[in-house]
Amino acid sequence: MVSLPDSTCSSERAGRRGPAGGLRCLALALMLATGLTPAAAQSPAPTPETVASVLMYHRVGNADHPSTNVTRAQFRAHLDYLEAEDFNVVPLARVVQALERNQPLPPRTVAITFDDGYYSVGATAHPMLEARDWPYTVFVNTAPVNAGQAGHMSWDRMRELAADGVRFANHSRSHTPLFHRRDGETRPRWRDRVRGDLMDAQASLRDELGEAVHQSPPLLAYPYGEYSLELMDQVAELGFVAFGQQSGAIGLHSNSLALPRYSFNERYAELERFRVKVHSRALPVIEQAPLDPVRSSRAAPALAITLAPTPGLRAGQLACYYRGERLTPDWLEADQRFEVQGEAPIPVGRTRYNCTAPDGEGRYFWFSQLWVYGDGGT
């Protein structure tokens, strides 16, 4: 977790620090969060290894919502494949622990997550997972549960799942795009609103589900997988490890304030696509610019990436993809630092650059960079 000396950031927490100090403090926080240290104190990095792939679902067997649903047959095929190929299905907390301790997990390790707490998780997905005695985590946005909204599990049902070993985590109270400031909203008021939203959700989870809630550290899934540099800073202050929805395996260099997950729905859940993703390796990104995915214009961003030397990484075959474009990297330092930029303007909403490189053994190193333009949540 990110922990900064009080002397570094205490005035920021009191709302008194100037812009330059704020940027220095945030830069230090994010360097620590990604495992980086200032150059003068930096020690040689370990050989990067993949920690795990985290899988993300919403609904199972609910055809009314195809964009956030996988069919029963698709979900069963995913689980059958993991079982047949002897994958190591672990609790999400084990993945976070390995990341914090800089310890790789065994090859073919995955964790399973669901966002929102929909009814079909308990009714359809749980029996399939329970039959295999596999752990999973549900990220819950608490407002619809507290309101008894149809389509969501009740607290009683979640308590039943907790008794079976299911774990729960924070998906905010409101499920609004937390990075977005409302019209006329100042930064301090935005920060207070985000803090209240996240801490209220965490309190509801703990009050209702007790020890079944991830707490040390608390875990967060950003609503819609959307975040900004400012939101990452706020989340770091609150002590969360946070997950997005951008693709990629988690590696020892992954940013614990924006961890990737592979998201599945009916359109993108075929078994061959699933197979490639669960066998993927983390592209060892040790530096990137920009880090902030939120864009103020629709011009396609230039993305600069620095890679750690990694056995098996065929950097010369690396390619990036963006809305149907194949982006050829411009290598600024051979096999180590490159830049890519799309041609088409970014759309309103979310889009990504996906970069992959083969490892020579039939697997791919994978990294995805989120971009967000507009108010989010679309």
Q: Is residue 22 part of a domain?
A: no
- Which secondary structure element, helix H or strand E, spans residue 259, and what is its range? none
The domain that holds 55 is classified in CATH as: 3.20.20.370
Amino acid at 48: P
153 & 261 share domain: yes
115 & 153 share domain: yes
The domain that holds 344 is classified in CATH as: 2.60.40.10
Q: Is residue 30 part of a domain?
A: no
Strand-strand pairing, 250-251 and 50-57: antiparallel
171 & 257 share domain: yes
Closest listed residue to residue 68, CA positions, set 243, 269, 247: 269
Closest listed residue to residue 104, CA positions, set 283, 252, 309: 252
Domain boundary among 282, 309, 341: 282
Q: Is residue 117 part of a domain?
A: yes
61: containing domain: 50-282
Domain boundary among 236, 253, 282: 282
Q: Is 30 helix (H, G, I), strand (E, B) or coil?
A: helix
Total number of domains in the chain: 2
**pTM to 2 decimal places:** 0.88
201 & 144 share domain: yes
Peptide bond into 290 cis (omega under 30): yes
231 & 348 share domain: no
75 & 55 share domain: yes
Q: What is the spatial distance between Cα 225 and Cα 222, in angstroms, rounded to a whole number?
A: 5
Q: Is residue 12 part of a domain?
A: no
Q: Is residue 123 part of a domain?
A: yes
Q: What is the spatial distance between Cα 238 and Cα 200, in angstroms, rounded to a whole number?
A: 12
Q: Is residue 14 part of a domain?
A: no
151 & 214 share domain: yes
Q: Is residue 2 part of a domain?
A: no
- Helix, strand, coil proportions of the chain in percent (round to 5)? 35, 25, 40
Sign for the CA dihedral angle at 84, 354, 319, 249 comes to negative
272 & 254 share domain: yes
306 & 169 share domain: no
Tens-digit pLDDT string for the chain (378 aa)? 333 333 334 333 333 223 233 333 444 344 434 443 333 333 334 344 689 999 999 999 999 999 999 999 999 999 999 999 999 999 999 999 999 999 889 989 999 999 999 999 999 999 999 999 999 999 999 999 999 999 999 999 999 999 999 999 999 999 999 999 999 999 999 999 999 999 999 999 999 999 999 999 999 999 999 999 999 999 999 999 999 999 999 999 999 999 999 999 999 999 999 999 999 999 999 999 999 999 999 999 999 999 999 999 999 999 999 999 999 999 999 999 999 999 999 999 999 999 999 999 999 999 999 999 999 987
122 & 87 share domain: yes
The token pair at 47 is 């050989």
The reported pLDDT for the residue numbered 49 is 66
Backbone angles phi, psi at 140, to 5 degrees: -110, 125
The reported pLDDT for the residue numbered 149 is 95
179 & 205 share domain: yes
The token pair at 57 is 């679902």
The reported pLDDT for the residue numbered 378 is 77
Domain boundary among 264, 282, 300: 282
Q: What is the spatial distance between Cα 214 and Cα 92, in angstroms, rounded to a whole number?
A: 9
Q: What is the DSSP letter of 113?
A: E
Rounded to a whole number, what is the distance in angstroms from the first to the last CA of the chain? 31
294 & 276 share domain: no
Q: Is residue 327 part of a domain?
A: yes
